[in-house]
Amino acid sequence: MIKKIPSSVLKIGMYIHDLNVDWMDHPFLRKQFVVKTEEDLQKIMASGAHELYIDTDRGLDYAHAPTVDEVNATIEAEMVLAATAPAPVIQVSTTEEMSRAKKIHKQAHSLVRTVMQDARMGKAIHMDDVEEVVEAITDSILRNSSALLGLSGIKDKDEYTFLHSVSVCTLMVTFAKSMNFPSELIRQAGIGGLLHDTGKTMVPNEILNKPGRLTEAEFEVMRSHPMEGFKILSQVDSIGDIPLEITLHHHERMDGSGYPHRLPGENITQLTQMASVVDVYDAITSDRCYHKGMPASEGLKKLWEWSKFHFNPTLVQAFMRTVGIYPVGSLVKLESGRLAVVLEQNEGNLLMPRVKAIFSTKANAYITPVEINLAKPMGLGGADKITGHESPEKWNIDVSRFLIPPS
Protein backbone atom coordinates (compact mmCIF):
# COMPACT_ATOMS: atom_id res chain seq x y z
CA MET A 1 0.00 0.00 0.00
CA ILE A 2 1.25 3.48 -0.88
CA LYS A 3 0.92 6.04 1.92
CA LYS A 4 1.91 9.66 2.39
CA ILE A 5 3.89 10.58 5.50
CA PRO A 6 5.65 13.69 6.83
CA SER A 7 9.41 13.32 6.44
CA SER A 8 9.76 13.86 10.21
CA VAL A 9 8.44 10.33 10.88
CA LEU A 10 10.58 8.63 8.22
CA LYS A 11 12.65 5.76 9.64
CA ILE A 12 15.36 3.40 8.54
CA GLY A 13 13.62 0.37 7.03
CA MET A 14 10.88 2.31 5.25
CA TYR A 15 10.68 2.00 1.47
CA ILE A 16 10.56 5.27 -0.45
CA HIS A 17 8.02 5.07 -3.27
CA ASP A 18 8.20 8.76 -4.23
CA LEU A 19 10.27 11.54 -2.64
CA ASN A 20 7.57 13.97 -3.79
CA VAL A 21 10.00 16.60 -5.08
CA ASP A 22 11.09 17.56 -8.56
CA TRP A 23 14.00 15.47 -9.89
CA MET A 24 16.35 18.47 -9.64
CA ASP A 25 15.67 18.74 -5.90
CA HIS A 26 17.11 15.42 -4.74
CA PRO A 27 20.51 13.74 -5.16
CA PHE A 28 19.48 10.06 -5.20
CA LEU A 29 20.27 7.91 -8.23
CA ARG A 30 16.92 6.11 -7.89
CA LYS A 31 13.43 7.39 -7.17
CA GLN A 32 12.48 4.29 -5.16
CA PHE A 33 14.67 2.68 -2.51
CA VAL A 34 14.89 1.41 1.06
CA VAL A 35 16.10 3.90 3.65
CA LYS A 36 19.14 2.09 5.05
CA THR A 37 21.28 4.62 6.91
CA GLU A 38 21.22 7.85 8.88
CA GLU A 39 23.01 9.42 5.91
CA ASP A 40 19.99 8.53 3.73
CA LEU A 41 17.70 10.25 6.22
CA GLN A 42 19.87 13.36 6.30
CA LYS A 43 20.02 13.54 2.49
CA ILE A 44 16.24 13.27 2.25
CA MET A 45 15.77 16.07 4.78
CA ALA A 46 18.30 18.24 2.93
CA SER A 47 16.45 17.72 -0.39
CA GLY A 48 13.48 19.74 0.84
CA ALA A 49 11.14 16.72 0.95
CA HIS A 50 8.67 17.65 3.69
CA GLU A 51 6.14 14.95 2.77
CA LEU A 52 6.79 11.77 0.82
CA TYR A 53 5.23 8.47 -0.18
CA ILE A 54 6.20 5.08 1.22
CA ASP A 55 5.34 1.56 0.06
CA THR A 56 4.26 -0.40 3.14
CA ASP A 57 4.42 -3.72 1.25
CA ARG A 58 8.17 -3.28 0.76
CA GLY A 59 9.16 -1.58 4.00
CA LEU A 60 7.99 -0.44 7.43
CA ASP A 61 4.48 1.00 7.82
CA TYR A 62 3.20 4.16 9.50
CA ALA A 63 -0.27 3.51 10.88
CA HIS A 64 -1.78 6.99 10.81
CA ALA A 65 -0.82 7.96 7.27
CA PRO A 66 -3.43 8.47 4.49
CA THR A 67 -3.28 6.29 1.39
CA VAL A 68 -2.37 7.74 -1.99
CA ASP A 69 -6.01 7.44 -3.10
CA GLU A 70 -7.17 9.42 -0.07
CA VAL A 71 -4.51 12.07 -0.74
CA ASN A 72 -5.50 12.38 -4.42
CA ALA A 73 -9.19 12.70 -3.56
CA THR A 74 -8.42 15.52 -1.14
CA ILE A 75 -6.17 17.34 -3.62
CA GLU A 76 -8.72 17.10 -6.43
CA ALA A 77 -11.51 18.42 -4.19
CA GLU A 78 -9.33 21.35 -3.10
CA MET A 79 -8.42 22.17 -6.70
CA VAL A 80 -12.05 22.19 -7.83
CA LEU A 81 -12.94 24.59 -5.00
CA ALA A 82 -10.01 26.81 -5.94
CA ALA A 83 -11.07 27.07 -9.60
CA THR A 84 -13.84 29.56 -9.01
CA ALA A 85 -12.48 32.56 -10.90
CA PRO A 86 -13.60 33.18 -14.50
CA ALA A 87 -11.30 32.11 -17.31
CA PRO A 88 -9.51 34.70 -19.49
CA VAL A 89 -11.53 36.74 -21.99
CA ILE A 90 -11.11 35.37 -25.52
CA GLN A 91 -11.02 37.76 -28.49
CA VAL A 92 -10.76 35.21 -31.33
CA SER A 93 -11.26 31.45 -31.50
CA THR A 94 -8.40 29.01 -30.99
CA THR A 95 -8.83 27.83 -34.59
CA GLU A 96 -8.37 31.37 -35.89
CA GLU A 97 -5.30 32.00 -33.75
CA MET A 98 -3.58 28.63 -34.22
CA SER A 99 -1.99 29.35 -37.61
CA ARG A 100 -0.42 32.57 -36.33
CA ALA A 101 0.58 30.87 -33.09
CA LYS A 102 2.41 28.11 -35.03
CA LYS A 103 4.55 30.70 -36.81
CA ILE A 104 5.29 32.57 -33.58
CA HIS A 105 6.17 29.35 -31.76
CA LYS A 106 8.57 28.33 -34.55
CA GLN A 107 10.15 31.80 -34.55
CA ALA A 108 10.62 31.70 -30.78
CA HIS A 109 12.13 28.21 -30.91
CA SER A 110 14.64 29.35 -33.53
CA LEU A 111 15.52 32.46 -31.52
CA VAL A 112 16.19 30.56 -28.28
CA ARG A 113 18.46 28.16 -30.17
CA THR A 114 20.37 31.16 -31.61
CA VAL A 115 20.61 32.91 -28.23
CA MET A 116 22.01 29.80 -26.56
CA GLN A 117 24.48 29.13 -29.37
CA ASP A 118 25.66 32.75 -29.24
CA ALA A 119 26.00 32.61 -25.46
CA ARG A 120 28.02 29.39 -25.68
CA MET A 121 30.44 31.04 -28.12
CA GLY A 122 30.64 34.28 -26.16
CA LYS A 123 28.77 36.31 -28.77
CA ALA A 124 26.45 39.21 -27.94
CA ILE A 125 22.76 38.50 -27.33
CA HIS A 126 20.55 40.71 -29.51
CA MET A 127 17.80 42.01 -27.23
CA ASP A 128 15.90 43.55 -30.17
CA ASP A 129 15.22 40.05 -31.48
CA VAL A 130 14.23 38.80 -28.01
CA GLU A 131 11.83 41.71 -27.47
CA GLU A 132 10.27 41.21 -30.92
CA VAL A 133 9.48 37.56 -30.17
CA VAL A 134 8.12 38.34 -26.69
CA GLU A 135 5.88 41.03 -28.21
CA ALA A 136 4.56 38.53 -30.78
CA ILE A 137 3.89 35.96 -28.05
CA THR A 138 2.13 38.60 -25.94
CA ASP A 139 -0.06 39.70 -28.85
CA SER A 140 -1.06 36.09 -29.51
CA ILE A 141 -1.88 35.53 -25.83
CA LEU A 142 -4.02 38.67 -25.82
CA ARG A 143 -6.00 37.39 -28.81
CA ASN A 144 -6.42 33.85 -27.47
CA SER A 145 -4.06 32.22 -25.00
CA SER A 146 -5.29 28.68 -25.77
CA ALA A 147 -3.46 28.44 -29.11
CA LEU A 148 0.09 29.02 -27.84
CA LEU A 149 -0.60 27.21 -24.56
CA GLY A 150 -1.71 24.18 -26.54
CA LEU A 151 1.46 24.29 -28.66
CA SER A 152 3.58 24.67 -25.52
CA GLY A 153 2.43 21.28 -24.29
CA ILE A 154 3.74 19.52 -27.40
CA LYS A 155 7.50 19.03 -27.37
CA ASP A 156 10.19 17.00 -29.05
CA LYS A 157 12.25 15.65 -26.13
CA ASP A 158 15.45 16.16 -28.14
CA GLU A 159 14.63 19.88 -28.40
CA TYR A 160 13.49 20.18 -24.78
CA THR A 161 16.01 22.80 -23.63
CA PHE A 162 14.93 25.25 -26.34
CA LEU A 163 11.20 24.50 -26.30
CA HIS A 164 11.08 24.67 -22.51
CA SER A 165 12.22 28.30 -22.66
CA VAL A 166 9.53 29.12 -25.23
CA SER A 167 6.90 27.46 -23.02
CA VAL A 168 8.05 29.27 -19.88
CA CYS A 169 7.88 32.57 -21.76
CA THR A 170 4.37 31.78 -23.02
CA LEU A 171 3.17 30.70 -19.58
CA MET A 172 4.76 33.70 -17.85
CA VAL A 173 3.08 36.14 -20.23
CA THR A 174 -0.27 34.38 -19.77
CA PHE A 175 0.16 34.23 -16.00
CA ALA A 176 1.18 37.90 -15.67
CA LYS A 177 -1.69 38.97 -17.94
CA SER A 178 -4.17 37.01 -15.81
CA MET A 179 -2.85 38.86 -12.75
CA ASN A 180 -3.64 42.18 -14.51
CA PHE A 181 -0.02 43.33 -14.45
CA PRO A 182 0.92 46.46 -16.45
CA SER A 183 2.03 45.80 -20.03
CA GLU A 184 5.70 46.59 -19.32
CA LEU A 185 5.77 44.13 -16.42
CA ILE A 186 4.21 41.48 -18.65
CA ARG A 187 6.91 42.14 -21.26
CA GLN A 188 9.69 41.84 -18.68
CA ALA A 189 8.16 38.62 -17.35
CA GLY A 190 8.16 37.21 -20.89
CA ILE A 191 11.79 38.17 -21.48
CA GLY A 192 12.72 36.54 -18.17
CA GLY A 193 10.89 33.37 -19.17
CA LEU A 194 12.53 33.22 -22.59
CA LEU A 195 16.06 33.73 -21.22
CA HIS A 196 15.83 32.04 -17.79
CA ASP A 197 17.82 28.94 -18.79
CA THR A 198 20.56 30.72 -20.75
CA GLY A 199 23.09 29.40 -18.24
CA LYS A 200 22.48 25.84 -19.43
CA THR A 201 24.78 26.69 -22.33
CA MET A 202 27.59 26.32 -19.79
CA VAL A 203 26.47 22.82 -18.75
CA PRO A 204 28.18 20.05 -20.77
CA ASN A 205 25.80 18.21 -23.10
CA GLU A 206 26.68 14.86 -21.53
CA ILE A 207 25.19 16.17 -18.27
CA LEU A 208 22.35 18.21 -19.77
CA ASN A 209 21.13 15.27 -21.87
CA LYS A 210 22.18 12.37 -19.67
CA PRO A 211 19.53 9.62 -20.01
CA GLY A 212 19.87 8.49 -16.39
CA ARG A 213 20.07 10.04 -12.95
CA LEU A 214 22.85 12.53 -12.29
CA THR A 215 25.65 11.89 -9.82
CA GLU A 216 26.12 14.35 -6.96
CA ALA A 217 29.01 16.00 -8.83
CA GLU A 218 26.85 16.29 -11.96
CA PHE A 219 24.04 17.78 -9.87
CA GLU A 220 26.38 20.52 -8.73
CA VAL A 221 27.27 21.34 -12.33
CA MET A 222 23.59 21.39 -13.33
CA ARG A 223 22.74 23.61 -10.39
CA SER A 224 25.31 26.16 -11.55
CA HIS A 225 23.14 27.20 -14.50
CA PRO A 226 21.19 30.02 -12.76
CA MET A 227 24.42 31.78 -11.74
CA GLU A 228 26.02 31.15 -15.13
CA GLY A 229 22.96 32.58 -16.86
CA PHE A 230 23.02 35.62 -14.60
CA LYS A 231 26.69 36.21 -15.48
CA ILE A 232 25.98 35.97 -19.22
CA LEU A 233 22.92 38.21 -19.18
CA SER A 234 24.58 40.77 -16.89
CA GLN A 235 26.84 41.60 -19.85
CA VAL A 236 23.82 42.66 -21.95
CA ASP A 237 23.44 46.43 -21.63
CA SER A 238 19.70 46.65 -22.27
CA ILE A 239 18.63 43.74 -20.05
CA GLY A 240 16.28 44.67 -17.22
CA ASP A 241 16.49 43.75 -13.54
CA ILE A 242 13.45 41.46 -13.73
CA PRO A 243 14.88 39.00 -16.34
CA LEU A 244 18.15 38.93 -14.37
CA GLU A 245 16.32 38.18 -11.13
CA ILE A 246 14.20 35.44 -12.74
CA THR A 247 17.30 33.87 -14.29
CA LEU A 248 19.25 33.85 -11.03
CA HIS A 249 16.51 32.75 -8.63
CA HIS A 250 13.91 30.66 -10.49
CA HIS A 251 15.08 27.57 -8.57
CA GLU A 252 14.67 29.16 -5.13
CA ARG A 253 11.87 27.77 -2.94
CA MET A 254 9.60 29.35 -0.34
CA ASP A 255 10.97 27.17 2.47
CA GLY A 256 14.57 28.19 1.70
CA SER A 257 15.52 24.79 0.27
CA GLY A 258 16.26 26.06 -3.26
CA TYR A 259 19.42 27.25 -4.98
CA PRO A 260 21.77 29.02 -5.57
CA HIS A 261 21.22 31.19 -2.45
CA ARG A 262 18.65 29.22 -0.39
CA LEU A 263 16.49 32.34 -0.18
CA PRO A 264 13.39 32.26 2.05
CA GLY A 265 10.11 33.17 0.40
CA GLU A 266 10.00 36.75 1.64
CA ASN A 267 13.28 37.44 -0.19
CA ILE A 268 12.04 36.11 -3.55
CA THR A 269 10.26 38.61 -5.78
CA GLN A 270 6.69 37.88 -6.85
CA LEU A 271 7.57 37.48 -10.54
CA THR A 272 10.38 35.09 -9.64
CA GLN A 273 7.99 33.10 -7.45
CA MET A 274 5.69 32.93 -10.47
CA ALA A 275 8.59 31.84 -12.69
CA SER A 276 9.47 29.00 -10.31
CA VAL A 277 5.88 27.71 -10.50
CA VAL A 278 5.83 27.95 -14.30
CA ASP A 279 9.29 26.41 -14.71
CA VAL A 280 8.47 23.34 -12.62
CA TYR A 281 5.03 22.89 -14.20
CA ASP A 282 6.47 22.82 -17.70
CA ALA A 283 9.42 20.64 -16.65
CA ILE A 284 7.37 17.91 -14.98
CA THR A 285 4.81 17.79 -17.81
CA SER A 286 7.43 17.48 -20.58
CA ASP A 287 9.11 14.38 -21.98
CA ARG A 288 12.88 14.52 -21.62
CA CYS A 289 15.65 12.04 -22.36
CA TYR A 290 15.66 10.95 -18.68
CA HIS A 291 12.06 11.64 -17.67
CA LYS A 292 8.57 10.82 -18.95
CA GLY A 293 6.37 13.87 -18.56
CA MET A 294 3.16 13.54 -16.57
CA PRO A 295 -0.19 14.77 -17.95
CA ALA A 296 -0.87 18.48 -17.37
CA SER A 297 -3.62 17.64 -14.90
CA GLU A 298 -1.21 15.56 -12.81
CA GLY A 299 1.37 18.35 -13.01
CA LEU A 300 -1.15 20.78 -11.54
CA LYS A 301 -1.92 18.34 -8.74
CA LYS A 302 1.79 18.10 -7.91
CA LEU A 303 2.16 21.88 -7.87
CA TRP A 304 -0.84 22.14 -5.56
CA GLU A 305 0.62 19.48 -3.26
CA TRP A 306 4.10 21.04 -3.25
CA SER A 307 2.77 24.56 -2.67
CA LYS A 308 2.39 23.69 0.99
CA PHE A 309 6.15 24.19 1.34
CA HIS A 310 7.95 24.98 -1.93
CA PHE A 311 5.73 27.49 -3.73
CA ASN A 312 3.50 30.41 -2.89
CA PRO A 313 0.05 28.74 -2.51
CA THR A 314 -1.80 31.88 -3.61
CA LEU A 315 0.24 32.05 -6.81
CA VAL A 316 -0.22 28.32 -7.50
CA GLN A 317 -3.95 28.84 -7.16
CA ALA A 318 -3.78 31.82 -9.53
CA PHE A 319 -1.71 29.79 -12.01
CA MET A 320 -4.20 26.95 -11.87
CA ARG A 321 -6.97 29.41 -12.73
CA THR A 322 -4.80 30.72 -15.58
CA VAL A 323 -4.33 27.36 -17.32
CA GLY A 324 -7.58 25.79 -16.08
CA ILE A 325 -8.29 22.58 -14.16
CA TYR A 326 -8.31 20.92 -17.57
CA PRO A 327 -5.45 22.65 -19.45
CA VAL A 328 -5.57 23.08 -23.22
CA GLY A 329 -4.28 19.89 -24.83
CA SER A 330 -5.44 17.65 -21.98
CA LEU A 331 -7.24 14.42 -22.79
CA VAL A 332 -10.41 13.98 -20.75
CA LYS A 333 -13.11 11.35 -20.46
CA LEU A 334 -16.72 12.42 -20.84
CA GLU A 335 -19.80 11.00 -19.15
CA SER A 336 -20.87 9.64 -22.55
CA GLY A 337 -17.79 7.40 -22.68
CA ARG A 338 -16.07 9.53 -25.30
CA LEU A 339 -12.53 10.85 -24.99
CA ALA A 340 -12.00 14.50 -25.84
CA VAL A 341 -9.13 16.95 -26.26
CA VAL A 342 -9.49 20.26 -24.41
CA LEU A 343 -9.41 23.11 -26.95
CA GLU A 344 -10.22 26.24 -24.98
CA GLN A 345 -11.26 27.50 -21.55
CA ASN A 346 -14.73 28.93 -21.07
CA GLU A 347 -14.90 32.46 -19.71
CA GLY A 348 -17.58 31.61 -17.16
CA ASN A 349 -16.56 28.16 -15.92
CA LEU A 350 -13.09 26.58 -15.82
CA LEU A 351 -14.65 23.18 -15.12
CA MET A 352 -16.55 23.21 -18.43
CA PRO A 353 -14.11 23.95 -21.27
CA ARG A 354 -14.68 23.64 -25.00
CA VAL A 355 -13.48 20.20 -26.14
CA LYS A 356 -13.23 18.04 -29.24
CA ALA A 357 -14.58 14.49 -28.80
CA ILE A 358 -12.43 12.12 -30.86
CA PHE A 359 -12.63 8.56 -29.47
CA SER A 360 -15.21 6.13 -28.11
CA THR A 361 -14.07 4.03 -25.17
CA LYS A 362 -17.12 1.80 -25.62
CA ALA A 363 -16.23 0.95 -29.23
CA ASN A 364 -12.47 1.34 -28.61
CA ALA A 365 -12.28 3.28 -31.85
CA TYR A 366 -11.88 6.80 -33.21
CA ILE A 367 -15.07 8.69 -34.02
CA THR A 368 -15.76 11.62 -36.32
CA PRO A 369 -14.39 14.57 -34.29
CA VAL A 370 -17.07 16.82 -32.84
CA GLU A 371 -16.56 20.04 -30.90
CA ILE A 372 -18.56 20.42 -27.69
CA ASN A 373 -18.96 23.46 -25.49
CA LEU A 374 -19.52 21.77 -22.16
CA ALA A 375 -20.90 24.98 -20.66
CA LYS A 376 -23.88 24.93 -23.04
CA PRO A 377 -27.05 22.91 -22.43
CA MET A 378 -28.33 20.09 -24.65
CA GLY A 379 -29.28 21.25 -28.11
CA LEU A 380 -26.79 24.10 -28.05
CA GLY A 381 -23.63 22.08 -28.58
CA GLY A 382 -23.24 20.90 -24.99
CA ALA A 383 -24.89 18.19 -22.89
CA ASP A 384 -21.92 16.13 -21.71
CA LYS A 385 -19.68 16.24 -18.65
CA ILE A 386 -16.05 15.58 -17.82
CA THR A 387 -15.62 12.65 -15.45
CA GLY A 388 -11.82 12.71 -15.25
CA HIS A 389 -8.47 12.98 -16.97
CA GLU A 390 -7.09 10.28 -19.25
CA SER A 391 -3.57 9.40 -20.35
CA PRO A 392 -2.99 9.76 -24.12
CA GLU A 393 -0.40 6.95 -23.90
CA LYS A 394 -2.98 4.57 -22.42
CA TRP A 395 -5.15 4.97 -25.53
CA ASN A 396 -2.26 5.55 -27.95
CA ILE A 397 -3.66 8.94 -28.95
CA ASP A 398 -1.55 11.71 -30.45
CA VAL A 399 -3.30 14.78 -29.04
CA SER A 400 -1.41 17.15 -31.35
CA ARG A 401 -3.28 15.74 -34.36
CA PHE A 402 -6.48 17.27 -33.04
CA LEU A 403 -5.00 20.51 -31.69
CA ILE A 404 -2.84 21.71 -34.56
CA PRO A 405 -4.25 22.31 -38.05
CA PRO A 406 -2.15 20.91 -40.92
CA SER A 407 0.45 23.30 -42.34
For the full predicted model, state whether its pTM sits above 0.95.
no
Domain at 215, CATH number: 1.10.3210.10
In this structure, the answer to whether residues 194 and 218 fall within a common structural domain is: yes
What does the pLDDT read at residue 147? 85
In this structure, the answer to whether residues 137 and 41 fall within a common structural domain is: no
Residue 80 forms part of a structural domain: no
Residue 89 forms part of a structural domain: no
What does the pLDDT read at residue 54? 93
In this structure, the answer to whether residues 319 and 349 fall within a common structural domain is: no
User: β-strand 354-360 against 338-344: which pairing, if any?
Assistant: antiparallel
In this structure, the answer to whether residues 139 and 42 fall within a common structural domain is: no
What does the pLDDT read at residue 223? 93
What distances in angstroms separate CA 235 from CA 232, 271, 399, one per listed residue? Answer: 6, 22, 41
What does the pLDDT read at residue 60? 94
Per-residue pLDDT tens digits of the chain, which is 407 residues long: 999 999 999 999 999 998 887 755 556 767 789 999 999 898 888 877 889 999 999 999 998 899 999 998 888 888 877 766 554 555 677 777 888 888 999 999 999 999 999 999 999 899 999 999 999 999 999 888 888 888 887 777 768 889 999 999 999 999 999 888 999 999 999 999 999 999 999 999 899 888 877 888 998 999 999 999 999 999 998 899 999 999 999 999 999 999 999 999 999 999 999 999 999 999 998 887 767 788 888 889 999 999 989 999 999 988 988 888 888 888 999 999 999 999 988 866 778 888 999 999 999 999 999 999 888 875 555 578 898 888 888 899 988 888 876 65
Among 301, 323, 345, the domain boundary falls at 323
What does the pLDDT read at residue 295? 82
The structural domain count of the chain equals: 3
What does the pLDDT read at residue 26? 59
Write phi, then psi, for 20 (nearest 5 degrees).
60, 35
In this structure, the answer to whether residues 125 and 192 fall within a common structural domain is: yes
Q: Domain span at residue 194?
A: 94-323
What does the pLDDT read at residue 169? 96
In this structure, the answer to whether residues 140 and 249 fall within a common structural domain is: yes
What is d(CA 300, CA 93) in angstroms, rounded to the nearest whole number? 25
Burial of 23 (0-12, 13-18, 19+ CB in 10 A): middle
Residue 42 forms part of a structural domain: yes
What does the pLDDT read at residue 89? 55
What does the pLDDT read at residue 326? 87
What does the pLDDT read at residue 83? 65
Residue 74 forms part of a structural domain: no
What does the pLDDT read at residue 220? 92
Residue 77 forms part of a structural domain: no
In this structure, the answer to whether residues 173 and 53 fall within a common structural domain is: no
In this structure, the answer to whether residues 197 and 335 fall within a common structural domain is: no
In this structure, the answer to whether residues 344 and 227 fall within a common structural domain is: no
CA angle at 179 for the pair 130 and 99, rounded to the nearest 5°: 50
In this structure, the answer to whether residues 176 and 310 fall within a common structural domain is: yes
